[in-house]
Amino acid sequence: MDNSPWAQLYENRSRLPAEEAAAIASFVFAKVHPPTLARCKVDVVDSNWYRIGGLTFAAGYHPKHVTMAPWQRYYIRITVGTDLHYPYTWEYRKRAGSSVFTGWDEEFCYLLAHETCHAMQFDKAAGFGRTRHYEVEAEKYAQSVLRSYREQGIKNLLPIYLPPMAAIKEVRNVS
């Protein structure tokens, strides 16, 4: 059983290496407003989508199969796709600028920061309005977290290896 401070907040059920993904999540979570973070539930799961993606739901709008504790107000779902090739350039809108990811760790860091920013936005606004302004703000926040991640050299401390999806499916079928 995981006794880390993130145990009730964060669960990785994806093919991302658990230790590395947890270290990146801890880095991102350290930048989030603590009362907002305490009200989040984060799941990282595999999907058949193309890349790594994410969604943030307010309580009551989250998928029915997700169980949330009474104090949790936001559900963040990060999905890990099947075709992760790098370098990869992402651009939401010209106003937000573009980001170039050199590995899954940078894309994961970016997406998790982007989605936690939405939780902070919802907390601040006390509502659930999605506007382009919210997206641009979340993109810029994620870019700043990614810059910080790169500057602190955390990537150099982690053995960043992501097994291919075919190998993961093979292991799951044997179990």
pLDDT attached to residue 35: 82
pLDDT exceeds cutoff 50 at 171: no
Residue-wise pLDDT tens digits, 122-154: 887 755 555 556 888 899 999 999 999 998 876
User: Is pLDDT above 60 for 174?
Assistant: no
With cut-offs at 50, 70 and 90, classify the pLDDT of residue 111: very high
Mean pLDDT of the chain, nearest integer: 79
Looking at residue 132, its pLDDT comes to: 55
| pLDDT for the residue numbered 172 | 36
pTM listed for this prediction: 0.81
Check if the beta carbon of residue 145 is closer than 8 Å to that of residue 106.
Answer: no
Q: Which domains does the chain have, with CATH numbers?
A: 10-157 (3.40.390)
* Residue 77 near residue 43, CB atoms below 8 Å: yes
Q: Which residues contact 99 (CB under 8 A, 6 or more apart)?
A: 89, 90, 91, 110, 142, 143, 146
Per-residue pLDDT band for 170 (boundaries 50, 70, 90) equals: very low
Each residue's pLDDT tens digit, 5-21: 555 688 899 988 888 88
Residue 156 has what pLDDT? 58
Cα separation of 1 and 19, whole Å? 15
